[in-house]
Amino acid sequence: MALESVDVLAPAKLNLHLGIHPGRDERGYHRADSVMIALQLADAVHIQRADSLSLTTSVDCGVSPERNTVFRAAQRLGEALGRSDGWAIHVEKHVPSQAGMGGASSDAASTLLGLCRLWDVDPLDARVVDVARSIGADVPFFLTLAPALLTGAGDVLERQFPFLGDVPVALVHPDAGVSTVEAYREFDRAAHEPQSSERMCAALQAGDVAGVAEALYNNLEPAANRLVPVTAEVRAWLQGRPGVLGAQLTGSGSCVFAICESDRAACEIARDAREAKNWWACATKTVGGDARFC
């Protein structure tokens, strides 16, 4: 009997290494070397059979449903697979927007995964991957949650690594968000070649958490800091906290993360960020395996 509904978690991500190259390709994208890892902090996507395709969200995402990545992903997958079924999709948001944690991309990928389960389609079918790439550079990463190096425009899966385990992480997101478009424009004003991702890849392959923390890198961070200076303040504050192995802006920001020695350290950092600084903050962990269906 065909399934009538499905619930899928949509985890956030961190950029452990983000190397943006100068110049743009024919699509207007920068070449990017992106090493990403998924977090247990997640949105939740519910898909229910309906008469037509519709989308609701728990918070205002700032765009009409038809322009949302989730709606576009569902629409394009239906077209690619020759399906015209109706589905009511609801997204319960927990990942902050304009944070660099890939919330919208993950929501889109989880929608693709949910529809693949409902339609009994392999989620790594080339048609599904092509749809994912058409929605956004980060979307293909979220089809599988293993730590990964993506190249091209950050949308070509180059290499995957063993799951790192449940590593404690503190997330701090100031009130001001960073526009990805503006961050790349600012980067272009003083573009420079990034350093290699090999050090980070070696640490991930070895399962070396301390090595991962030491190899953190993001050459988009200075541009984001110039646009929203509080992000630099957040990072400096995190780096001064006990129990922090390493801290960095993720993506174009404005969320800054700290890899922590313990759950206790992550929880205390998140508490102090909320109480002393009035910043959005939470303690979470990296994803230890791919288990998204509720």
Q: Residues, the chain, total? A: 294
CA distance 220 to 224: 7
- pLDDT value for 292: 80
Distance CA 162, CA 71 (A): 32
- 125-171 per-position pLDDT tens digit: 999 999 999 999 899 999 999 999 999 988 889 999 999 999 999 99
Cis preceding linkage at 254, omega within 30: yes
207: tokens are: 């399962």
Q: How far, in Å, CA of 133 to CA of 284, rounded? A: 28
Given a contact cutoff of 8 angstroms between Cβ atoms, the answer to whether 43 and 10 are in contact is: yes
CB 196 within 8 A of CB 184: no
Measured over the CA atoms of residue 251, residue 255, residue 261 and residue 267, the dihedral's sign is negative
Q: If pLDDT is split at 50, 70 and 90, which confidence band does 1 have?
A: low
End-to-end CA separation in angstroms for the chain: 19
Question: pLDDT tens digit string along 212-255?
Answer: 999 999 999 999 999 999 999 999 999 999 999 999 999 999 99
Domains observed in the chain: 5-160 (3.30.230.10), 168-285 (3.30.70.890)
> Over 80: is that where the pLDDT of 2 sits?
no
Whether residue 138 lies in the annotated active site: yes
Q: How far apart are CA 2 and CA 116, in angstroms?
A: 12
Q: Using an 8 Å Cβ cutoff, are 65 and 54 in contact?
A: yes
* Dihedral (CA of 67, 68, 69, 72) sign: negative
**Contact assessment for residue 15 and residue 39, using Cβ atoms and an 8 Å cutoff:** no
Q: Exposed, middle or buried: residue 231 (CB in 10 Å: 0-12, 13-18, 19+)?
A: buried
Higher pLDDT pick, 48 / 61: 48
**Given 51, 138, 155, 272, which residue is catalytic?**
138
Active-site residue, 107 included: no
Q: Which amino acid is at 280?
A: W
What pLDDT, on a 0 to 100 scale, did the predictor assign at position 188? Answer: 95
Average pLDDT over residues 185-205: 96
Quote the distance between the C-alpha of residue 30 and its chain's center: 18
Give me the chain's average pLDDT, please. Answer: 95
Read off the pLDDT band of 262 (50, 70, 90).
very high
Cβ(90)–Cβ(46) under 8 Å? yes
The pair of three-digit structure tokens given for residue 35, joined into one six-digit string: 């090493």
Q: State how far the Cα of 102 lies from the Cα of 250, in Å rounded to an integer.
A: 9
CA-to-CA distance for 55 and 153, rounded, in angstroms?
28
| Residue 81 identity (one-letter amino acid) | L
Q: Of residues 7, 13, 175, 263, which has the active-site annotation?
A: 13
**For 193, which DSSP code?**
P
Mean pLDDT within 85-104: 94
